[in-house]
């Protein structure tokens, strides 16, 4: 392990953390499976719809608004990815960096205003 860089080591630690979560959950579920009852009946396994017999499929079509908001999210999240490295080096870039990022954010703000005017931001 000594040949590994600090960077990769950190990610290995992260992997151990993920593994620990899965193992902990698995262990507790295993303990639970030793002491919990299992008596499935037809009614118990029905989909729960407030006590009424379920109607139709549970997997219904969803509205397009979720899709539009997801698209908007991707646009702004990518923007954020670009702003972060800039933010750490702002003092070096000075007024030049400020103007450049002003343009960048301005264009994205225009996009938000456009979506706003189009009425996309209304959740109806």
Partner 1 sequence: MMQVLALEVPYWGQSLLRVLGGIVAVLLPAGTIVYVFLFKMMSFMQSRLGPMEAGPYGSLQLVAEVGKWLQKEDIVPERADPRIFKMAPIVVLASTFLLVAVVPFGPDAWFTNFEAGVFYALAVSSLSVLGILMAGWASANKYSLLGGLRAAGQLIAYELPMVLAVIGVIIQAETMNLQQIVVAQNAGEIFGFSGLGNPYLITQLVGFVIFMIAIQAELTQAPFDMPIAESELVSGYMTEYSGFRFLMFFIGEFATAGVFALITSVLFLGGWGVPFAWFGWTDVDSVSNWMNIVGPIIMFTKMMLIVFIIMWVRFSSPRFREDQLQRFAWKVLIPVSLGNIAITSIFKVVM
Directed axis angle between helix 90-117 and helix 64-88, to 10°? 160
Number of residues that bind partner 1 (CB under 8 A): 71
Considering only residues 5 to 64 of the shown chain, the ones binding partner 1 according to CB under 8 A are 6-7, 10-14, 16-18, 20-22, 24-26, 28-29, 31-33, 35-40, 44-50, 54, 57-60, 62
What span, in angstroms and rounded, lies between the C-alpha atoms of 108 and 97?
17
Instruction: Of 63, 64, 75, 67, give the one whose Cα is nearest residue 114.
Output: 75
If one asks whether residue 66 binds partner 1 (CB under 8 A), the answer comes out as: yes
Q: How far is the CB of 30 from partner 1 (least distance, A)?
A: 10
If one asks whether residue 98 binds partner 1 (CB under 8 A), the answer comes out as: yes
If one asks whether residue 1 binds partner 1 (CB under 8 A), the answer comes out as: yes
Among 5, 52, 53, 88, binds partner 1 (CB under 8 A): 88
Residues with Cβ within 8 Å of residue 111, at least 6 apart in sequence: 75
Among 27, 52, 78, 91, binds partner 1 (CB under 8 A): 91
Q: How far is the CB of 37 from partner 1 (least distance, A)?
A: 5
Instruction: Of 66, 74, 75, 86, give the one whose Cα is nearest residue 110.
Output: 75
């Amino acid at each position: 392990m000594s040949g590994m860089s600090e960077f990769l080591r950190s990610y290995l630690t992260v992997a151990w953390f993920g593994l620990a979560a899965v193992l902990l959950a698995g262990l507790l579920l295993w303990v639970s499976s030793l002491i919990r009852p299992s008596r499935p009946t037809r009614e118990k396994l029905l989909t729960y719809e407030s006590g009424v017999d379920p109607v139709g499929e549970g997997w219904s079509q969803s509205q397009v608004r979720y899709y539009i908001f997801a698209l908007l999210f991707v646009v702004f999240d990518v923007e954020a990815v670009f702003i972060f490295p800039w933010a750490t080096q702002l003092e070096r870039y000075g007024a030049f960096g400020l103007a450049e990022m002003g343009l960048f954010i301005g264009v994205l703000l225009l996009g938000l205003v456009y979506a706003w005017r189009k009425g996309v931001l209304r959740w109806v």
